[in-house]
Amino acid sequence: MNPIDDPRLTAMGLLAEVHAGLVARMQPVLSTAGLSEIDFETLLRLGRSPGERLRMTDLAAQTGLSTSGVTRVVDRLERDGLVTRVACTADRRASYAALTDAGRERLTAVLPLHLADIQRCFTGLLADEQLEAFLEALRTIRDVVRPCATAGAAESRSPVRS
């Protein structure tokens, strides 16, 4: 068989297509709230972190952006008043990006609409068991392609045992 028609390519293409399609579907709600995809992800990750704050480097690791990319994103969010930089007393090289009140409010304002989007275009389309199997498959793949993606989540800050 011609490798160009290999079903594995179709599988990969399907995954990419679904991801791109979902992101496109979510975008209107977010941009109505004045947030880009990466803005939303940043606010969400900050909101989920202890003290609603993360070091720039940890934010980069969690989002997959480069550290310079995080610098600019936080620049924009800080300019919009949604995030503020807080000096780290323990390590003067580092600084935290912390959610402001405005940032938290923006986030909580968008979340219900965003969750409805996810429900309508993703989780709500699959039966409970089907969804659980789907997520289990995703976790299986995630464990292979992305071994450590929880930077800054406290337990992962401790050094790896050698």
Partner DNA sequence: TACGGATATTTGCGTTAACAGATATCTACA
Partner DNA sequence: TGTAGATATCTGTTAACGCAAATATCCGTA
The verdict on 68 binding DNA (CB under 7 A) reads yes
Closest CB to DNA among 66 and 119? 66
- Residues 6 or more apart whose CB falls under 8 angstroms from that of 156 comprise 148, 150
Closest CB to its own copies among 51 and 90? 51
Residues that bind its own copies (CB under 8 A): 3-6, 8-9, 11-12, 14-26, 44, 47-48, 64, 107-108, 111-112, 114-115, 118-119, 121-123, 125-126, 130-131, 133-135, 137-142, 144-146, 149
Contact (Cβ atoms closer than 8 angstroms) between residue 70 and residue 59: yes
Question: Per DSSP, which regions of 29-141 are E strands?
Answer: 53-55, 83-87, 95-99
Of its own copies, DNA, none, which one sits near residue 157, judging by CB under 5 to 8 A according to partner kind? none
Least separation in angstroms between residue 95's CB and its own copies is: 23
Contact (Cβ atoms closer than 8 angstroms) between residue 96 and residue 46: no
The verdict on 36 binding DNA (CB under 7 A) reads yes
52: helix, strand or coil: helix
